[in-house]
Structure 1
């Protein structure tokens, strides 16, 4: 029985509804205002409320999956839209608007835009650009998804450390990750590996990348540790999730967790991922890694880590559509667990207890997905607002 209110009511009927603990064929989700008010696993579509004075709508999700809106803790694609090519800079507000629409098309309703606060011309990055992107996110009245900032701090860059430390009072910053991209450390075996990675299709020049690697290698390990400690202290009073990045081994994880890290992103080795789990830190891997079938750079395979039970969260990293695709990769687990890694678990890590699952009382962030021939979002709701609709063929219809 659906209790009618004066608020706008939307009924999503007939889809495969994935709840936290079970999946229901032909279920129903009812949205009123910005909340889910009912999830009925055995609803009869013929019993849906009759539209009255435009107050109630029914969406037929037959043949599709109904999932909670995805929560992406680390997606740095907005930087690519800011600089489509090296030397071509787009207005930050326009770049963010592009990222916003593609975010929804990828099924993500809560997006932590991973913005690198560092002066690295070889990667088209500057603290000035990063600050303008942050301001655009904070101002984002026209954005359809819920955008937040994941501030990436490069410890080899003193200006980056100073800037991120000053961001503690900005409520838009919810995650801060501490990185040290240095040849011979983490995922870079040597300067050649570093230069190869930092020479990309957007115009970074090999000799510039090689020089950047030499400059970073010149920063003493003691300096990096001191900067990490200073930054952690500066952020102690801020309500942020603190993340480490590219931890290579258990010792690196211990150092990170001892300094208050809550989330270990992209551990390089299985031993590091295991240690993070042992220490009670959440572990995040890249969805592209799982979808592709391995790390692009020869690091830890996400599937191996999942089989070991040491992956809590998947992130889109640089490829937004990989997050949704990861849900449909058969890992030998129930789909409820695969959905949780990209919805309720990242929400929990970020301290967002109002979203990430299809349950009565939860924020009405929801996506309808056509799984064939590839997972495609046909509908997205953010806080009950119908913000994205893409016709996918003859199965697309409302009543």
Structure 2
């Protein structure tokens, strides 16, 4: 059925244009300055709202809170994914990379068993509203985590891998004390032995580098992009770049972000960072990275609705550039050339956004099918 979304402010890769978008089947077939002369089978009045490509989220870990809304309250995985799916489209996200933690951290309700279960359910997510993929977060300080991710890569049910180093002396923890303070604060397991956990994570740097090399080589051989997480220094970035890592995810300092940009890597940061005006952990401010031209992609991280809000935060840049950080740029970073732009031939994944008084998702289309709507129009 042919559908025309008319009277929209269409955010193209280069401009905002008043006009209409024609959808046939699951594809955009035309972008026109006015209604096409043919009478469509369905006409939707956008009422002057912004029409964006469907948002693409490369790192969202909110599914964990759907599985465990409280530390001791476990929701069945299928039910949790269904709830997460609905929240995803309500946030305007049409392609979601679930950042699944492949690690054994009982105090955060994370386990390799749950990671494998989520991976399997995401791979079988037929009938969901959005498009779902698995982003495997690989804790390189833990041998079991690395081996599990390697098997997931070989199994073909992973679309993105990121390399984590949550260990004493890593980017987030200066020493064992800071590491133990962080993990001792959790409330998921009463008999949590944080000392033993710290000892298990505290492996030699040469071991972590060898594991990094193995994961990157296997992922690249399978055509899976790889990101490094929490890069702290220019040297950190240079090292992973030599291995073939193409994405620097959540760099913690300006030096790391700028070096990644210089090397042609994609820099990805959290949309909540931009929306709230700074990092929760006093790391690099996303606005600072944007001002230095070292911010390419924004991810929802822990808050899905922050993605559309971030596109409308005034950073002094044109709206198409800000929208690209949550649409075209993430698509390019992971090789999805069929989405992320309002152009003929691309998937009809589209979002209507009312910008006032705050950005609100009004309608969402996935493959030309309307999956979400506020109001009766």
Gap regions ≥5 residues in structure 1? 1-7
Alpha-carbon separation, structure 2, partners of 1:77 and 1:384: 26
Within the alignment, does 1:17 sit opposite 2:17 as a pair? no
Within the alignment, does 1:230 sit opposite 2:221 as a pair? no
Shifted more, 354-363 versus 191-200: the winner is 191-200
Partner SS for 1:235 = helix
Residue in structure 2 matched with residue 215 of structure 1 by the alignment: 199
Q: Please point out which of 341, 347, 355 is paired with 1:371.
A: 355
**Residues 323-371 of structure 1: CA deviation (Å, up to 9, x unaligned):** 1100110000000000101000100011000100101111101001112
The answer to whether the 8 A contact 2:180-2:198 is kept is: no
Shifted more, 245-254 versus 381-390: the winner is 381-390
Within the alignment, does 1:156 sit opposite 2:141 as a pair? yes
Matches within 5 A, 1:273-312: 273-312=257-296
Residue in structure 1 matched with residue 101 of structure 2 by the alignment: 116
Q: Please point out which of 34, 46, 65 is paired with 1:80.
A: 65
Post-superposition offset of 1:269: 0.7
Alpha-carbon separation, structure 2, partners of 1:157 and 1:207: 21
**Residues 194-245 of structure 1: CA deviation (Å, up to 9, x unaligned):** 34544667x3469948436622553222221122122223334211011100
Shifted more, 253-262 versus 81-90: the winner is 81-90
Calculate the aligned-residue CA RMSD, in Å: 1.9
Alpha-carbon separation, structure 2, partners of 1:329 and 1:212: 44
Partner SS for 2:117 = helix
**What count of residue pairs does the alignment treat as equivalent?**
377
**Residues 168-213 of structure 1: CA deviation (Å, up to 9, x unaligned):** 2333311000101123321223445434544667x34699484366
Taking structure 1 as the reference length, the TM-score comes to 0.90
Alpha-carbon separation, structure 1, partners of 2:216 and 2:358: 42
Post-superposition offset of 1:71: 0.5
Shifted more, 205-214 versus 219-228: the winner is 205-214
Gap regions ≥5 residues in structure 2? none
Residue in structure 2 matched with residue 29 of structure 1 by the alignment: 21
Within the alignment, does 1:267 sit opposite 2:259 as a pair? no
Within the alignment, does 1:327 sit opposite 2:319 as a pair? no
Taking structure 2 as the reference length, the TM-score comes to 0.95
Partner SS for 2:356 = coil
In structure 2, relative to structure 1, the CA distance for the partners of 1:22 and 1:335 (3 Å cut) is same
Alpha-carbon separation, structure 2, partners of 1:236 and 1:73: 17
Partner SS for 1:59 = strand
Q: Please point out which of 91, 97, 109 is paired with 1:106.
A: 91
The answer to whether the 8 A contact 2:273-2:279 is kept is: yes
The answer to whether the 8 A contact 2:72-2:188 is kept is: no
Post-superposition offset of 1:155: 1.0
The answer to whether the 8 A contact 1:11-1:48 is kept is: no
**Residues 237-279 of structure 1: CA deviation (Å, up to 9, x unaligned):** 2110111000100110011111110101001110101111111
The answer to whether the 8 A contact 2:8-2:46 is kept is: yes
In structure 2, relative to structure 1, the CA distance for the partners of 1:267 and 1:209 (3 Å cut) is farther
